[in-house]
């Protein structure tokens, strides 16, 4: 019989060892976010003749759980840029608020000086870099699509470390592994932009989303796709992967129930 | 003027023996010399209009805006010391943005008017500052649509946000005028600046409280009223500036924007025409102007 | 003697609603030597008349480059101008750093206007004793702004501030219609002529006392979008002054209408 009432209901010291008080410690190093919580994965983007196309599925995962299945991870900024978010969804919401307040500020004056996608990307990469330098990163990997100051199609990425990277086609998350090779085969590096039409670009993105749905366990068959051209932004947020065929799954060996 | 020489008018925040704060009254004098500014509130939106006296040929035409955007859905026009007006607008923008930071939604125009009233009032309290030399008209549209939950992931439940009352009407137009004392009222039609007497007389004729005037007609009336108010300083050239905010299903979709060029030109043309036709009715106008003067006392 | 009780500080309104301290600060601008600014469709030009304290001393700087897309010309207290120009340089650099964009002119002019306004509403501060002309280009083309100690700012097509600047303004008003479509060189020439109008009988424009600043959009097909701010001082102004002289001699022959034959 345990004679100390304060110990009643607690794990027994003689079996579990004494209580580890370090869990309640308030001193010691201060820790910020160590890992993201609810996350989105792939965002993929392709430049084409006269604009940029960008796509992402509508999933937000909680670990391996498909927690939210109707999350819009493509955010429109003004009438000339789209930001696609991979990574932590609450950090995405925070950045979305930042974008909102910038948009309001930019529209105080109607003089026509507006931030383009390139300006926006520069700004966001600085935000990421500042936060990681404070050891309190915003856990995202983003793509920014739109136009640069010369009116040329612009596509660039920034991540939680403040790293920036630009290429004619880009992807975040699993898409970086699965979609990029497909896009590189479709549009080899030396393809001039003039040879890629908007329809081709959009078709390629749909194909990539389908492959991701087939092979990435943290993906979804519901997705959003958007294009930025001189005529404006077109966003479709409730797309579905069409013409699915899981026949290839039969040939996969080494997983699931079958042994050989 | 009885205030001069008594010494009670030399510092802000000081009452005279009969309970007046002369520095605030002098600030009002600065307003009374400023270009006319008006606002009209109707059922489906708000119009703001300003008379911009062209003080020099060298000024760039169409630039130097007098009406400012505070948030997507709010605009401010003021009469009086222009730099004070900009200070005021900058504070309004800060308030609107900090409201968004806290409440994750746009500030209601009534709340903004209240906060700005408090801010202006604070400048009457200390001898280390002077009151604002402006009277500001604030116009806005509070969204009638259900506000989404901030950062809402997905669409949420079909039944809408919590606490919703079926059929309840929210939002609508807001028009407020804030004076150098910090005093503010809500208005159907507001006017300030040099030509306010004439403008007020015209506004009263519109019978705005009946809610019959449409937004587009209000734009035309606003243009006409600015032209009427300018009659007293006819020798000076001026530019008319107008902005509007409509309901969500109206032409500006709840945003504060400049009145489109073609509508502005149409309104200006109609205003000029109306003014020519008004010569015969002059007697009637004068009568109501004197009436108004008495009300001002 | 009558004594004005309402002009001791910037936080007291007169019974007419005026703030005398601010009005006095505007007088300080009129003490400074004249500067002129003007724009056409592609360029913004500043010209200034420099003064030296004595024969052997150097000349006071009148035009300051803020960034590659913008410069200012000053009239009044030069040290107040330095405070403002340092602030503008910081803001401009900040915009390039965070957005990779040259700061829009209206934006930065509003910022100094707001700063100046603060000095007119708080006890213990004094209004700036300097007027500025801000010239530059941004996404929407060339711009010229006037800044006053009250915090008032105006976008102008052409402007002159400082001692005897009324003469320059008269010139500018008279020739206003010619500016918008003229060439870069002609615009500089107009600026210099306006400046010359303000000189007293015994003075003339020399390479020592003349400053010119030019900034504009680069001609079609150039690599960069803008022609960076270029400050002409000393011997560099010689060709500009020579062009001025040529235009005047030919102008005297042909009358005012045909003055623009050269350059």
For the domain that residue B214 is a member of, what is the CATH number?
Answer: 3.60.20.10
* Interchain pair A90, B151: CB under 8 A: yes
CA–chain centroid gap for C3, Å, is 35
> Which of A11-15, A59-63, C257-261 is modeled with the greatest confidence?
A59-63
pLDDT at B277 over 50: yes
B30 close to C (CB below 8 A): yes
Task: Summarize pLDDT for A164-186 with one digit per residue, the tens.
Answer: 999 999 999 999 999 999 999 99
Taking residues A238-258, what's their average pLDDT? 85
In a domain, A108, yes or no: yes
Tell me, what's the pLDDT at A26? 74
* Interchain pair B26, C14: CB under 8 A: yes
Percent of chain B beyond pLDDT 70?
A: 87
Percent of chain C beyond pLDDT 70?
A: 94
* Interchain pair B153, A60: CB under 8 A: yes
Tell me, what's the pLDDT at B154? 62
On whether the CB atoms of residues B138 and B175 are closer than 8 A, the answer is yes
> Residue B165 class from Cβ within 10 Å (0-12 exposed, 13-18 middle, 19+ buried)?
exposed
Q: What is the DSSP secondary structure assignment for residue A75, as one 8-state letter? A: E
> Which of A113-117, B27-31, B274-278 is modeled with the greatest confidence?
B27-31
CA–chain centroid gap for A166, Å, is 16
- Return the number of CB contacts < 8 Å for A and B: 40
* Interchain pair B58, C169: CB under 8 A: yes
The CA-atom distances, in angstroms, between B17 and each of B6, B146, B181 are 10, 52, 18
Tell me, what's the pLDDT at C7? 92
Reported residue count of chain C is 263
Taking residues B133-142, what's their average pLDDT? 98
pLDDT at B22 over 80: yes
Q: What whole-number distance in Å separates Cα of residue C77 and Cα of residue C30?
A: 10
* Interchain pair B151, A70: CB under 8 A: no
Task: Summarize pLDDT for C8-36 with one digit per residue, the tens.
Answer: 999 999 999 999 999 999 999 999 999 99
On whether the CB atoms of residues B223 and B267 are closer than 8 A, the answer is yes
Tell me, what's the pLDDT at B268? 96
In a domain, B235, yes or no: yes
Which has more confidence, B294 or C160?
Answer: C160
pLDDT at C96 over 90: yes
In a domain, A256, yes or no: no
In a domain, A250, yes or no: no
pLDDT at B296 over 50: no
In a domain, A254, yes or no: no
A164 catalytic residue (yes or no):
no
In a domain, A187, yes or no: yes
From the list A26, A27, A33, A172, the catalytic residue is A33
Taking residues C211-238, what's their average pLDDT? 94
Provide the mean pLDDT of chain B.
90
Q: Which two tokens stand for residue B159?
A: 């039944």
Closest alpha carbon to A74 in A242, A233, A241, A240? A233
Tell me, what's the pLDDT at C260? 47
Tell me, what's the pLDDT at B162? 59
* Interchain pair A114, C107: CB under 8 A: no
In a domain, A9, yes or no: no
Nearest chain C Cα distance for residue A174, angstroms:
29
* Interchain pair A149, C138: CB under 8 A: no
Taking residues C242-261, what's their average pLDDT? 66
pLDDT at A98 over 80: yes
Tell me, what's the pLDDT at A90? 95
Structural domains present in chain C:
31-262 (3.60.20.10)
Q: Which residue of B has its CA nearest to A93?
A: B151
B65 contacts in chain A (CB < 8 Å): 109-110
Q: How many domains does chain A have?
A: 1
Provide the mean pLDDT of chain A.
93
* Interchain pair C121, B12: CB under 8 A: no
Tell me, what's the pLDDT at B158? 57
B63 contacts in chain C (CB < 8 Å): 154-155
Taking every pair of Cα atoms in chain A, the longest distance, rounded to a whole number of angstroms, is 84
Tell me, what's the pLDDT at B293? 38
A109 close to B (CB below 8 A): yes
Q: What is the DSSP secondary structure assignment for residue A8, as one 8-state letter? A: T
Nearest chain B Cα distance for residue A24, angstroms:
31
Q: Which domain holds residue B69?
A: 22-288
- Return the number of CB contacts < 8 Å for B and C: 101
Name the least confident of A76-90, A244-258, B160-174, C162-176: B160-174
Tell me, what's the pLDDT at B279? 59
ipTM for the predicted complex comes to 0.91
Q: Which residue of A has its CA nearest to B156?
A: A70
Question: Which member of C99, C106, C140 has the closest CB to residue A115?
Answer: C99
Tell me the pTM: 0.90
Q: Which residue of A has its CA nearest to C110?
A: A109
Percent of chain A beyond pLDDT 70?
A: 97
In a domain, B2, yes or no: no
C12 close to B (CB below 8 A): yes
| In chain C, residues 190-249 whose CB comes closer than 8 Å to chain A | 225
Q: What whole-number distance in Å separates Cα of residue C39 and Cα of residue A211?
A: 57
B78 close to C (CB below 8 A): no
In a domain, A61, yes or no: yes
Tell me, what's the pLDDT at B291? 39
Which has more confidence, B94 or B167?
Answer: B94
Provide the mean pLDDT of chain C.
93
- Residue B297: band (very low, low, confident or very high) from pLDDT cuts 50, 70, 90: very low
Q: How many domains does chain B have?
A: 1
Q: What whole-number distance in Å separates Cα of residue C115 and Cα of residue C150?
A: 10
Task: Summarize pLDDT for A23-77 with one digit per residue, the tens.
Answer: 777 777 888 888 999 999 999 999 999 999 999 999 999 999 999 999 999 999 9
Name the least confident of A87-96, A105-114, B243-252, C63-72: A105-114
Tell me, what's the pLDDT at B290? 41
A115 contacts in chain C (CB < 8 Å): 99, 101
pLDDT at B287 over 60: no
For the domain that residue A201 is a member of, what is the CATH number?
Answer: 3.60.20.10
Nearest chain A Cα distance for residue C107, angstroms:
9
Q: What is the DSSP secondary structure assignment for residue B105, as one 8-state letter? A: S
Q: Which domain holds residue A127?
A: 40-241
Chains touching A, CB cut-off 8 Å, 3+ pairs: B, C
Tell me, what's the pLDDT at C263? 44
* Interchain pair C106, A111: CB under 8 A: yes
Tell me, what's the pLDDT at B159? 58
């Amino acid at each position: 019989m345990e004679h100390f009432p304060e110990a009643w209901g607690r794990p027994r010291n003689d079996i579990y060892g004494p209580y580890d008080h370090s869990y309640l410690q308030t001193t010691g190093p201060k820790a910020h976010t160590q890992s993201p919580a609810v996350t989105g994965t792939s965002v993929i983007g392709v430049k084409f003749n006269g604009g940029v196309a960008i796509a992402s599925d509508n999933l937000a995962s909680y670990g391996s759980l498909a927690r939210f299945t109707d999350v819009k991870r493509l955010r429109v900024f003004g009438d000339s840029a789209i930001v696609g978010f991979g990574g932590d969804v609450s950090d995405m919401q925070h950045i979305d608020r930042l974008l909102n307040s910038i948009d309001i500020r930019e529209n105080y004056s109607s003089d026509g000086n507006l931030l383009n996608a390139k300006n926006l990307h520069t700004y966001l990469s600085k935000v990421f870099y500042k936060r990681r330098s404070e050891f309190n990163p915003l856990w995202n990997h983003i793509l920014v699509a739109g136009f640069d100051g010369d009116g040329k199609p612009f596509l660039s990425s920034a991540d939680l470390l403040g790293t920036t990277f630009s290429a004619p086609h880009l992807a975040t998350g699993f898409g970086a592994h699965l979609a990029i090779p497909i896009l590189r085969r479709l549009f080899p590096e030396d393809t001039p932009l003039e040879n890629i039409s908007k329809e081709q670009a959009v078709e390629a993105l749909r194909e990539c989303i389908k492959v991701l749905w087939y092979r990435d366990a943290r993906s979804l068959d519901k997705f959003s796709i958007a294009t930025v051209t001189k005529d404006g932004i077109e966003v479709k947020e409730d797309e579905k992967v069409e013409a699915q065929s899981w026949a290839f799954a039969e040939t996969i060996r080494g997983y699931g129930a079958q042994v050989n | 003027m009885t205030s001069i020489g008594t010494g009670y008018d030399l510092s802000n925040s000081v009452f005279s023996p009969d309970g007046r704060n002369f520095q605030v009254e002098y600030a009002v004098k600065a307003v009374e010399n400023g270009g006319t500014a008006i606002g009209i509130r109707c059922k489906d939106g708000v119009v703001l209009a300003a008379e911009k006296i062209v003080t020099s040929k060298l000024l760039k035409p169409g630039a130097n805006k007098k009406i400012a955007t505070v948030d997507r859905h709010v605009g401010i026009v003021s009469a009086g010391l222009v730099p004070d007006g900009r200070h005021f607008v900058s504070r309004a923008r800060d308030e609107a943005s900090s409201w968004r930071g806290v409440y994750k939604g746009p500030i209601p125009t009534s709340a903004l008017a209240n906060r700005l009233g408090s801010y202006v009032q604070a400048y009457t309290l200390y001898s280390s500052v002077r009151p604002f030399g402006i009277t500001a008209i604030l116009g806005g549209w509070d969204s009638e649509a259900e506000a989404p939950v901030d950062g809402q992931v997905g669409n949420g439940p079909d039944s809408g946000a919590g606490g919703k009352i079926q059929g309840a009407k929210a939002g609508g137009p807001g028009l407020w005028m804030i004076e150098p004392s910090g005093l503010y009222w809500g208005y159907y039609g507001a006017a300030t600046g040099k030509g306010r007497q004439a403008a007020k007389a015209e506004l009263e004729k519109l019978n705005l409280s009946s809610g019959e005037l449409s937004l587009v007609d209000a734009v035309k009336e606003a243009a006409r009223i600015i032209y009427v108010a300018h009659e007293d300083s006819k020798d000076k050239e001026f530019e008319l500036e107008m902005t509007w905010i409509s309901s969500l299903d109206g032409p500006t979709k709840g945003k504060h924007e400049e009145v489109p060029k073609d509508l502005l030109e149409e309104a200006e043309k109609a205003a000029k025409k109306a003014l020519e036709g008004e010569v015969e009715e002059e007697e009637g106008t004068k009568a109501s102007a004197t009436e108004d003067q008495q009300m001002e006392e | 003697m009558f004594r004005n009780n309402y002009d001791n500080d910037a936080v007291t309104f007169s019974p007419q609603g005026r703030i005398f301290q601010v009005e006095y600060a505007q007088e300080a601008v009129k003490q400074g030597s004249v500067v002129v600014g003007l724009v056409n469709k592609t360029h913004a030009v500043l010209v200034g008349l420099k003064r030296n304290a004595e024969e052997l001393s150097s000349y006071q700087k009148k035009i300051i480059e803020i960034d590659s897309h913008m410069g200012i010309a000053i009239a009044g207290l030069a040290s107040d101008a330095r405070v403002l120009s340092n602030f503008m340089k910081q803001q401009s650099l900040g915009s390039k750093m965070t957005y990779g964009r040259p700061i829009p002119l209206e934006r930065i002019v509003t910022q100094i206007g707001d700063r100046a306004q603060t000095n007119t509403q708080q006890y213990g501060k004094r209004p700036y004793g300097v007027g500025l002309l801000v010239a530059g280009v941004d996404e929407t083309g060339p711009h010229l702004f006037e800044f006053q100690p009250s915090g008032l700012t105006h976008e102008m097509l052409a402007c002159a501030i400082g001692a005897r600047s009324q003469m320059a303004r008269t010139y500018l008003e008279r020739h206003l219609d010619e500016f918008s479509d003229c060439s870069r060189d002609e615009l500089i020439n107009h600026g210099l002529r306006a400046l010359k109008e303000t000189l007293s009988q015994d003075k003339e424009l020399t390479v020592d006392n003349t400053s010119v600043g030019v900034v504009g959009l680069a001609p079609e097909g150039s690599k960069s979008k803008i022609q960076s701010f270029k400050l002409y001082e000393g011997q560099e102004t010689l060709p500009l002054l020579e062009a001025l002289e040529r235009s005047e001699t030919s102008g005297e022959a042909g009358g005012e209408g045909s003055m623009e034959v050269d350059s």
